[in-house]
Amino acid sequence: MASNPLVSRSRLGTRASALARWQADWVAARLRPMGVEVVLVPITTTGDRRTEEPIGGIGGRGVFTKELQRALLEGRIDLAVHSLKDLPTEEVPGLCLAAVPERGSVGDVFVSRNHASFGELPPQAVVGTGSLRRRAQLLHVRPDLVFQDVRGNVDTRLRKLDEGRCDALILAQAGLERLGLADRITERFPLETLLPAIGQGALGLETRLDDAFTRSAVEPLGDAATHAAVLAERSMLTALEGGCLTPIAALARVEKGVLTLQGRVVDPSGRVQIDAADSSGPEEAIRIGQRVAAALLAQGAADLIRAAREG
């Protein structure tokens, strides 16, 4: 169902969380000066409804995106804004990733009320995170800690910390900064210790493939370097046949015209961690991702991914 190109109006689908609303408002604020009337359409996803269950127990892939994509396909909205780390890599017929804006902070942070750094946590301290990627990488350096599954929006997780239900939280730096909560950050993890999720810190603007008006409206919001970087990361993830339930991490960056991708796969227990990297021009983004995946698979990544799925 194509939009009427004579009507400068776009219905933007958004989840109800504070972070999702920030993302939607950010996009709307940039489209309106270009003469696009933006109407926000709230949509509740499976991940929003079932906040106390582990992601794996409610379907894993697409729990924060499927309803938005369905609304696009049914013509109820014209544009969806995703956190790219939540968007599965499988293409949905009829939809396209029309633009990827400039990326925000990519890393993860340590948040605690009583401990000045991750290294200062005592043995058996309880660390809250709903991410197997974070847990596996941090177990690699601190196998003496206890990791507890913590879900919910950022405010909910912080409240659980403040109530003493865990000793610390691991959260995305970009999320806290976008919500004006950077003062809650206790320590920023070095990327060598904690490599981010695929697409972390980046937004994806998704439209219908046949909606020429909306596609052309959002294209100016895109950033070519960020788009190439996340394309390399997502290509690696596809080649590894991984998803949000597997301990796979990556970060691609474009510097001086060269795209470099670092990829990592970790055993769920943290005992084994393998890394690979490759670089070339940004136009080689997909091939770079495939080459890094091949290097990881040559080191035994398939066994680690299988262990995560069976665990």
C-alpha span between 133 and 264 (Å, rounded): 10
Catalytic-labelled residue, pool 78, 86, 167, 278: 86
Q: Partners of 128 in the beta sheet?
A: 148, 169
Q: Which token pair is 166?
A: 């865990």
Q: What is the separation of C-alpha 111 from the centre of its chain, rounded to a whole number of angstroms?
A: 19
290: CB partners within 8 A, 6+ apart? 235, 236, 239
Q: Phi and psi dihedrals of 191, rounded to 5?
A: -65, -25
Asked if 86 is an active-site residue, the reply is yes
Q: Which helix (H) or strand (E) holds 282?
A: none
Helices in 97-153 by DSSP H: which ranges? 132-141
Judged on CB neighbours under 10 Å (0-12, 13-18, 19+), 224 is exposed
Sheet arrangement for strand 248-255: 248-255, 258-266, 273-280
263: CB partners within 8 A, 6+ apart? 233, 236, 248, 249, 250, 275, 276, 277, 292, 293, 295, 296
Q: Which residues are catalytic?
A: 86
